[in-house]
Amino acid sequence: MQTKRAYRFRFYPTPEQASTLARTFGCVRVVYNHMLSLRSTAWAERQERLGYHATSAALTALKKMPDYAWLNEVSCVPLQQALRHLQTAFVGFFTKQTGYPRFKRKDGTQSAEYTASAFRWDGRSLKLAKMTEALPIRWSRQIPKAAKVTTVTVSKDAADRYFVSLLCDDVVAQKTPTSSCVGIDLGLSHFAVLSTGEKVDAPQIFRKHEVKLAKLQRRLARKQKGSARRAKAKLKVAKLHAKIADIRRDFLHQLSTRLIHENQVIAVESLSVSNMQKNRCLSKSIGDAGWSEFVRQLEYKARWYGREFVRVDRWYPSSRRCHSCGYVSPKLPLSVRHWSCPGCNADHDRDINAAHNVLAAGLAVLAHGETVRPECMSDDVQRLGSVKWESLSFREGSSQKVPPSTTRPVI
């Protein structure tokens, strides 16, 4: 599969490279904030919309001004890319996908993007414009020789770490089709419960470091603003936050990759995480779990490797429905972890039963192409918990399923 793929590495710049990057980051931030202010003022005062071409002409005039002559000391490519990013931010705002663009902070994450004309890549080393030496990158994995590097993004996070991301035109080989299918029920005590009966414990990364983080934050709050000790305390807090994020990201990548490699169909319940976090008692645990990132990883990895990823409607009663007979319990509080079905007297583990129902509903969507809301489900689809999907097969080397007319449930 032909796709865009980014390879991210950490590097340790020399003092000269760090100085060049600091000037580049500052120029990119100034240009972005200046053009954002210019576009906002033009609309507020004259109801005039300025696009990328207008800001590009304004940048050319700005670089000729004596007060902004230092913009010419860095490569012009990251400055132009900042204008394109600003245009993308406004497009997202006008299409109601994101909020209004915000100004970049000096003490936040810094980044600069280089296109093909501003870097040199020979397959083993990377040299950026305005630099005489290649970046000392720690190569944690090898970039395929067939991959063509199109864009390089250099960034510095709040923990004072430098990263370089190489965006490539890459070909991802699809995995061999398999007959395994899995339904996933996401939770808090167990991060994921699979329809196979496996329960993946929640790592609770933030909870494990919460006491230490609170201690560092109290020390930071006592430091005088603008002092060197406050900067040191702030760096310690940022490093701990970065450690928590790295551990969580590594856990999610390992789990999502394993599930994608082992299963052809992955069904997950669609959750409104932003609304669930309004619960003050559970918001911290929900944010610590990282459900949205996990689902995002499953989705793009399934697209890469030729798997089927299905989102089940959030209102589907996966926990209250018996996967054996289809009986739906009118109420099932969160405190009830095990329950018996009045229809067939089957004993159910709440989470495993939900995972079975999520899988059945996901297979129903693939086979019938219909919604899984209870009021819209046919009688056949409602009994999918006891169905054996022996006829569900996939074409060799393809992610497309057999048409519904030839794929019927075996009762």
- Clarify whether 67 is annotated catalytic: no
Burial class (CB in 10 A: 0-12, 13-18, 19+), 100: exposed
Q: Indicate which residue of 113, 288, 308, 351 is catalytic.
A: 351
- Clarify whether 269 is annotated catalytic: yes
- Clarify whether 169 is annotated catalytic: no
CA distance 190 to 214: 25
Q: Indicate which residue of 113, 170, 185, 288 is catalytic.
A: 185
Reference 138, options 118, 114, 162; nearest CA is: 162
Question: How many residues would you count in the chain?
Answer: 411
Q: Indicate which residue of 113, 269, 288, 308 is catalytic.
A: 269
* Whether the Cβ atoms of residue 360 and residue 409 lie closer than 8 Å to each other: no
Active site residues: 185, 269, 351
